[in-house]
Structure 1
């Protein structure tokens, strides 16, 4: 995923499906300088991690 798209998804009011290695995740924040995103596994807010934005995939 491109950095600008991760930022758009984060700011969107719509639910946009995103996966990390096949696992559904929510984007919590985006660090543009490091090109990373803090994400958590859907329905498991405690399971969060920081990953490169390029590893995220939008599901159409």
Structure 2
């Protein structure tokens, strides 16, 4: 995934499924470096993790 698509997903009102290593995640924000994003797992756990946006996939 690229920074442009991450921004589109963040601004979209739709629930767009994003996965990190096959696990569904919510994108919280695109970090200032433009190469990483802060995400958390879908579900009850709110643990946030910084990941490379190139490792995020849609669907």
TM-score (norm 2): 0.89
The aligned residue for residue 7 of structure 1 is 7
Q: Is the 8 A contact 1:3 1:32 kept in 2?
A: no
> Which ranges in structure 2 are unaligned for 5 or more consecutive residues?
none
- More strand as a share of residues: 1
Deviation of 1:47 (Å): 1.8
1:19 match? 19
State how far apart, in whole Å, the 1-side matches of 2:45 and 2:8 are. Answer: 21
CA RMSD in angstroms, aligned pairs only: 1.3
- How far is the alpha carbon of 1:57 from its aligned partner? 0.2
Residue ranges of structure 1 left out of the alignment (5+ in a row): none
Q: Distance in 1 between matches of 2:4 and 2:34?
A: 13
SS of 1:14's partner is coil
How many residues align structurally? 59
Q: Matched residue of 1:46: which SS?
A: coil
**How far apart are residue 21 of structure 1 and its match?**
0.3
